Structure 1
Amino acid sequence: MRRVLAGRVGVVSVAVLAVIALLAAFGPLLAPHDPLLQDPRAILAGPSAQHWLGTDNLGRDVLSRLLAGSTLSLVAGVEAVAVGLVLGVVPALLSVHLGRVVEWVSLRVMETFVTLPFLVFAVAMTALLGNGLQQAMLAVGILIAPGFYRVTRAAALPVATAQYVEAAVLAGASPWTVLRRHVWPKVVPAVAVSTASLLGASLVIVSSLTFLGIGITPPTPTWGGMLATDLQYLYQRPFGPFVPAALIVATVGACNGLADALRDGPSRRPARRKVVADVAAST
C-alpha cells in the first residue's frame, strides 16, 4: 500500500474513491430532502438555498437524488465485480491444477462468455429474471468474468510449473495447500489490478444500463438514470447533466488510476535501488 501511495496518481485515486465511498455509505443520511419527494411548485428550479443543485422535472431535489444514487450505482458496480471475480478467478485456478478436462471446459465456457453481445445479453437476463439491478449486475459479472480468468490463469501458469511448487507436490501437499500457500500469493497482485480496472468498466456499464432504463424501475435514483433525465431538459437546465456525468467520470478515472498505481507500484523500489547503485558505481 505504501508503494501505491508513493505516487501522485495513487494518492489522488485513493482520495477520490474514499470520498465516493463515503457518499455511498452515508449519502442517504446526508441528503437534505427525501430523494423521492415531489414539489410541483419547484419544477426544474435552479440552485437555491433550499435546493443547492436545483430540482428535476418532477420537483425532486437533485442533490438528494445524487447522494442516494451514489449508493445504488457504487454497490451495483461492486456486485458486478464480485460476480466476475468468483466466476473468473476460481475456474482459472482450478484449470491450472485439476488437469486437462477442467482446463478445456473452463476455456470453452469463457470463450462463450466473450462472444455474448453485451446489450442483448443484459436485456435477455433482465427479461428472464426480472428488471432488477441485481439481475443486471449478474449479467455484467458474467460478461467481465473472462477478463479475470485470463489474467489469473496467465499469472498462475508460471507458478504452477515452478520447482518449489513441484517439490511441495512431491512432499505430499494437497492441491488446495499448493493453491493457498504458493499460487494465490503470486496471483493476488494481478487480480488486484484487474479488480480496480474492471470496477471502473463495471461502473461505466452500470451507468449505461441505467441510462437506458435497464435494471431499475422509476423513481429509483441512479447516476445514469439522472443523466438521461437531465438530457431531456437540457434547454431548461443546461448545467443539469454536468454533476452526474462528473461523478461517473471521476469515479471511473480514479479506478483506472488506482489500477495503474497498483501495477506500477512493485517496480518503484527496484528502480530506486538501481539509481542508487548507479550513483554509487559512478563515484
Structure 2
Amino acid sequence: MRILRLTWRRRSARIALVVLAVVAVLAVAGGALAPDDPLAQHPADMLQGPSAAHLLGTDYLGRDVLSRLIAGTGLSIAGALEAVAAAMLLGVIPGVASVWLGRTVEWTTQRAADTLMIMPFTVFAIAVVGALGNGMHQAMLALGVLFAPLYFRVTRAAALGLKQAQYVEAAELMGASRWWILRTHVWGKILPTIAVTTAQTVGQALLVVSSLTFLGLGVQPPAPTWGGMLASDLGYLAQQPWAPLIPGAAIMITVGALNLLADAIRDSGAPTAGELGKPPRAEGTAPALVTGDREPLNSPEVQGGSAKRATPSEDPGLPSEDHANTAATAERTHIEQPEEAEHRVTTG
C-alpha cells in the first residue's frame, strides 16, 4: 500500500494510469462504445477519408476504422494479459522453488530457463501454432512460455536476497515452516519487483501480440485487432498513406503508458537487490544515525538502555577522564580564541 501511495504521487504515474484506464474501458466495453458495427462492410464507402459519418475514415472494405480500432482493443489487450499471466505462472513459482527446494530443483529450473531464453519469439510461436492449431490461446501460451524466464530470473534474484536475511534465518532456526516463511517474509517483499516486471512485460507482450496478428497468427480475420488493422492498411498506402498511423499510435501510446507506470513503481520504492535482505522496520522507529566511528545515536549505549556502557578502565581504547577533560578545555580555548582576537583588534 505504501508503494501504491508513493506511485500515485508521481505525475508520470497519474498520466499513465489515466491512459491505461481509458484503454481498459475500451477493452471491456469497446463493442458497446463503437459508433458503428466493426464488421459491417460498405463497398460504396471504401477507402474514404475522415468525415462526419466516419471520424477516422473507412478501410478497403468500407468498414469504419474508429469502430474497428475500439473493438480491436479488447482482443489486443486480452492477448497480452493472457501471455503475461501464463508467464507469471510458469516463472514466479519455479523462481521461488529454485531457492527453497534444493539443488536438484535449482539446477533443473535454471537449465530450462536458459534454454527458453535463446529461442526467438516469432519462430517459436509459429511452431507452436503450427503444432497446436492457429488460435489465440495457443499463440498466447507460446508467448507465456517465452516470457517465463524473465519472471524466473527476477523472482529468483529477489528470493536469494531474502533467503540470506538474518530474520529469515532466525525464523528457520525457530522451526518455522517454509510455507509460513514464504507467506510472511518473502512474498510481500518480492511483490513490488514483480509489479515492475509485469508493467514492462505487458508492454512487450502487446508488441509481440501485434506482430503475430500482423502475420495472421492468433486472432483470425475479420476479427479486428491492432496488428491486423496495421497489416491490412499497408496494402493501400497509395490511397491512404496515413492509415497505418492510427493503429500504430494506439500501440505506441499504450506501451509508453505501461513503461511510464513501470518506471514510477520502480522509483517509488521497489526494493533493490541490496535492500531485499533488510528486515522491515517497525512503525515509529527512527533509523540509526551514525556519526564517524561512534555508536548509532539510537543504540542502547547512547540511549541509556539495558546494555552495559564501556568505561575507560574496561576498554583501553577509550580515552581517560583526564584526557577527556584536557580535550574539552582545548576545545573551549579554540572556540574563545577568535573572540579574544576580535576584542584586541577593536580595543587597539
* TM-score greater than 0.5 by the shorter chain: yes
**Aligned pairs (5 A) from 1:141-156:** 141-156=144-159
Q: Secondary structure at the match of 1:266?
A: coil
Q: Which of the residues 5, 10, 17 maps onto 2:13?
A: 10
CA distance in 2, matches of 1:5, 1:238: 39
CA distance in 2, matches of 1:4, 1:156: 24
CA distance in 2, matches of 1:239, 1:27: 23
Cα deviation for residue 117 of structure 1 reads: 2.2
CA distance in 1, matches of 2:189, 2:253: 31
Deviates more, 1:199-208 or 1:116-125: 116-125
Q: Deviations over 1:128-179 (max 9, x none)?
A: 1111111111111111111111111111101112121122222222211111
What residue is the counterpart of 1:247 in the other structure? 250
**Aligned pairs (5 A) from 1:165-180:** 165-180=168-183
What residue is the counterpart of 1:86 in the other structure? 89
The one-letter amino acid of 2:71's match is A
What residue is the counterpart of 1:236 in the other structure? 239
**Aligned pairs (5 A) from 1:183-194:** 183-194=186-197
Task: Give 1 or 2 for the bigger CA radius of gyration.
Answer: 2
Q: Which of the residues 96, 104, 107 maps onto 2:107?
A: 104
What residue is the counterpart of 1:158 in the other structure? 161
Aligned residues: 267
What residue is the counterpart of 2:322 in the other structure? none
Residue identity over aligned pairs, in percent, reads 57
**Aligned pairs (5 A) from 1:263-278:** 263-266=266-269
CA distance in 1, matches of 2:207, 2:8: 25
Q: Which of the residues 14, 33, 36 maps onto 1:33?
A: 36
The TM-score with structure 1 as length reference comes to 0.92
What residue is the counterpart of 1:46 in the other structure? 49
Q: Does 1:75 align with 2:94?
A: no
Q: Deviations over 1:40-73 (max 9, x none)?
A: 1111111122211111111111111111100000
The one-letter amino acid of 2:206's match is L
Supply the RMSD in Å over aligned alpha carbons. 1.1
The one-letter amino acid of 2:250's match is L
The one-letter amino acid of 2:30's match is G
Question: Could you list the runs of 5+ residues in structure 2 that have no partner in the other structure?
Answer: 271-348
Tell me: higher relative CO, structure 1 or 2? Use CA pairs within 8 A at least 6 residues apart: 1
CA distance in 1, matches of 2:136, 2:27: 16
Q: Secondary structure at the match of 1:220?
A: coil
